[in-house]
Amino acid sequence: MKAFYSDHFVLPLPEGHRFPMVKYSMLRERVVGDGICGPGELRTPRAVTDEEILRCHAPDYLKRVVSGSLTEKEMRRIGFPWSERMVERSRRASGGTLGACLAALEEGFAANLAGGTHHAFADRGEGYCVFNDSAIAARAVQDAGLVERVVVIDTDVHQGNGTAAILSGDKSVFTFSIHGAKNFPFHKEVSDLDAPLPDGTDDTEFLAALAEGLETALDPADAGIAIYLAGADPFEGDRLGRLSVTKAGLAERDRIVLEACRERGIPVAITMAGGYASNVEDTVDIHFQSIRRAADMLERSLSADRQGTARGT
């Protein structure tokens, strides 16, 4: 399976910063160690261009991000210190989601080992998000004439507020967010479908709400591609999660999302989004199992194709 990584564009963070930047390189090492990518399939994404960003972001915001002239307050809201690397990394992480969409359109499944920066609005960033990769990738594949309609399935524990706001009024992209009702962001935007969950939601309740949401979302979405935010932070051991979903529950989440898309013939680009477990290994395990599941499904569909070809069908 093709996977896009940008962890070598390391963003300099002050010591003690709580963002677990290390999860990205750890995840890539797991993906390599497990042989998920064949030769040439683990790729560095290109940076998204200004033109691609401007389909979703305000010119003034882009200009100020690039030149480092956001105010201190705006930078605090983003949560990272400004650096040229931050800008480059944000462009590359969006490029990874776009690359995963293009690969998924050809092969069925692909992954960005980063991305899911769903708190980025048209004119501001917040919650560690600068550019909105889902919106940028959705509009890029539409602009290229590859698909007419896109669905964003956001299962990160925090609402996809930036995605909902950027794409509100755009009937060609269906946004579905399942998230903690009482968690950040405290002011929620309106997605095409929201499934807010109470604190402490367990596997059974989470998976039932997810399945119901997918049933409601996928038919009207009528999408040619899905962008799936497989956030690791609904996990019971997450510092910022407030839900009680287990690793096994999150594996089941992956299965439900990926199978619901496959049944409808919708290719899926997986992105990682958040994950703040006390033990970073847990976050990496959860992200890895999402990618492993997609790779297994891709392998099964390729081998079914081969058998079909062998039988002359």
Q: Which is nearer to Zn ion, 108 or 274 (CB)?
A: 274
Separation of alpha carbons 280 and 259, rounded Å: 28
**Where does this chain bind Zn ion (CB under 5 A)?**
156, 158, 231, 233, 274
**C-beta of residue 148 within 8 angstroms of C-beta of residue 192:** no
Phi-psi label, residue 7: left if phi above 0, alpha if psi -120 to 50, beta otherwise: alpha
Nearer to Zn ion, 57 or 119 (CB): 119
Among residues 115 and 231, whose Cβ is nearest to Zn ion? 231
Distance CA 169, CA 165 (A): 9
Question: What residues pair up with 179 in beta bridges, in sequence order?
Answer: 196
Tell me whether residue 173 or residue 243 sits nearer to Zn ion (CB atom).
243
Read off the tokens for 197: 């969950």
For the CB of residue 274, give the shortest distance to Zn ion in the complex, in Å: 3
Q: Alpha-carbon distance 88 to 47, whole Å?
A: 7
Instruction: Name the nearest CA neighbour of 138 among 127, 128, 124, 153.
Output: 153
Min CB(52)–Zn ion separation in Å:
24
CB atoms within 10 A of CB 18: 10
Given the structure tokens 């946004």, which residue do they identify?
175
Least CB distance to Zn ion at residue 135 (A): 17
Which residue number is nearest to Zn ion in terms of Cβ? Answer: 274
Q: How far is the CB of 202 from Zn ion (least distance, A)?
A: 19
The residue (of 233 and 285) whose beta carbon lies closer to Zn ion is 233
Question: Cβ of residue 113: shortest distance to Zn ion, in angstroms?
Answer: 16
